[in-house]
Amino acid sequence: MKLNTIMPARLQPYFEQELRAYRAALEKNQFSIAWRHLERAHIIGQAYPWEHSYVHWKMLLFGIKIKNTKEVVGQIPRLVFGGIKSFVGTIPVGNTGGANVPPLRPLPISEEIQNIFKLAGVKK
């Protein structure tokens, strides 16, 4: 079993870029664009406990902001257990993290995000 603790430094800028894009879209009330950036940040950060939990926290706050009860309720267990699953290396790779997707379902990773992992030297 591989224990994950810290996101590789070469991957961190891509994660942060998605969060900046999320905040920028949110400030303009571009909710679907903002959400897409949170999903991308989730895929990039889901193998690392802090980043994984942080994105679920942001998804929870987003659900509250847009008054989406399903998202709020769906984020609570993800927030509680996501970081633990990252730490022990049992994440569903490619899962986008929202309540619209079963929490344990792996999903295909887009070619663009696969390229990010390659550039950062991270194997998926």
Q: Tell me: the pLDDT tens digits for 6-41?
A: 999 999 999 999 999 999 999 999 999 999 999 999
Buried-state track 40-61, b at ≥16 Cβ within 10 A, e below 16: bbbbbbbbbbebbbbbbebbbe
Give the pLDDT confidence score for residue 74 in this predicted structure. Answer: 97
How sure is the predictor about 53, in pLDDT bands with cuts at 50, 70 and 90?
Answer: very high
Domain regions of the chain by residue span: 12-120
Q: State the DSSP code for 95.
A: -
State the residue for tokens 């990010």.
116
How sure is the predictor about 124, in pLDDT bands with cuts at 50, 70 and 90?
Answer: confident
Taking all residues of the chain, what is their mean pLDDT, rounded to a whole number? 94
Mean pLDDT for 111-122 is 96
CA 107 to CA 61: how far, in whole Å? Answer: 24
Mean pLDDT for 79-107 is 92
Does residue 1 carry a pLDDT above 70? no
Query: Of all residues in the chain, what percent carry a pLDDT higher than 90?
Result: 86
